[in-house]
Structures are given as C-alpha cells and as structure tokens.
Amino acid sequence: MIKLDIISDPICPWCYIGKTLLDQALAERPDHPFEIAWHPFQLNPDMPADGMDRKEYLETKFGGKDGAIRAYAPVLERAEAAGLTIDFAAIPRTPNTLDAHRLIHWAGIEGRQTPVAMALFRAYFEEGRDIGDADVLSDIADSAGMDAAVVRKLLQSTADAADIRKRDAQFREMGVTGVPCFIVNGQHAVPGCQPAKTWITVIDEINSKLAADADTDADAESGA
C-alpha cells in the first residue's frame, strides 16, 4: 500500500470537495494502492474556543455578506459539479476545530478516520451543525461506531490537544499554507482541490510503477 496523507480542516469547503473528487477517482480505480490518513490544519487557529457567530465571522473575514457571496461563488460551483450540496446559509456558527481534529485523531486509532472526517464535513456544510459542540461531536462519533460516552469524556479533557497543535505547526513549518494538501508516499505533495481525472492519472502511474517493480523483483528472484 501507498500512504496518502490528507492535511485538511473540517470547515474547509475545498477539503470536502477535494476528498469527494478523490473518492470518485477511487471508485473508478478500486485497485488503487492508497492507504489514507488524515492530519490537522486549522484555518482559524486563533478562533475562540466556543467559535464565532457566522455573521460576525463573515464580516471579519470577507467584509460582509456581499464579500462572502463573491468568495463562495466558485466554491458552490465546484461543489455542485462534484455532486455536493453546500448550504452556507444554514451554518449558524464558525467553530474552533481543535476538538473536531481531536475526534478525527481518535477515530484513526479505531480505523474510522475517513467515515468520521466525511461525517464532519456533511454535518457542517450540509446540515449546519456546530462541529465545535461536544454533543454534536459525540453524536458523529456514535454514528461512526465509536463509543460516544468515551468521546464525550475525552472532549471534556485536554487529551491530545497539544499534539494536534504541534502537528498543525509542523505542517506549517514544512511549507503548507493552505488546505487541502495531499502527500503521496511521504514524498510528493498534491496541493489543492484536484479533478478526479488527475487522481486517476496519479493512480494509474503508481500502479504501473508498482507492477514494474514487482516484475523486476520476480526476475531477480528467478535468476538468483
């Protein structure tokens, strides 16, 4: 298997779209070699712990509703093309995503990272749920087959918070300035929201190389 690291934030619409397009490619190539792991990157690391009213956030970030509409127009266009329905108007608060990242981390321990990460995207962008809220996060954990009571207890603590912040900082030190960012085999960065056809090309190239390497190894063994 080839490691595919996904650096993202659950409130990043391009991350949701980018992973959806990747999923379309994976469906086209079920023999893909990828083993996916999710990693934290907070778009708003200085966000108050309890988040911010959405209207206030838009005023701060885009100068108001009109600026937000202009900024989000290409997002909505790409989302629709990818088969997604993003409802920005339904979002009441912009959360601090530290706890959401902690949940993704714990889900990884149980082999449930991708279902939890995608559930967070859906909850935020399609259902307008506050993914900074412990009840919402516990419910998402439960829906993914995790123990909601354990998750709730962990959320009440500072477990792994420092580690999440450290990993986020490390990616910034590596030069990651925006998400999504995909890292193939720990070596090749694929930044941004890539079309499914791009991922299909990447998968085909990797599979061809893996097949060639296997043939070379087989020839070497037969000649030994």
Preceding omega of 74 cis (within 30 degrees of 0):
no
Encode pLDDT of 126-170 as tens digits.
999 999 999 999 999 999 999 999 999 999 999 999 999 999 999
Please report, as a single letter, which amino acid is at residue 179. Answer: V
For the domain made up of 2-223, give the CATH fold.
Glutaredoxin (3.40.30)
Exposure string over 169-208, b if 16+ CB within 10 A, otherwise e: eebeeeebeebbbbbbeeeeebbebbbbeebbebbeebee
With a pLDDT cut of 90, the percent of the chain lying above it is: 90
Give residue 160's pLDDT.
98
Please report, as a single letter, which amino acid is at residue 117. Answer: A
Q: Which is nearest to 10 in space by CA: 163, 127, 170?
A: 127
pTM of the entire predicted model: 0.95
Tokens in use for 90? 């339904």
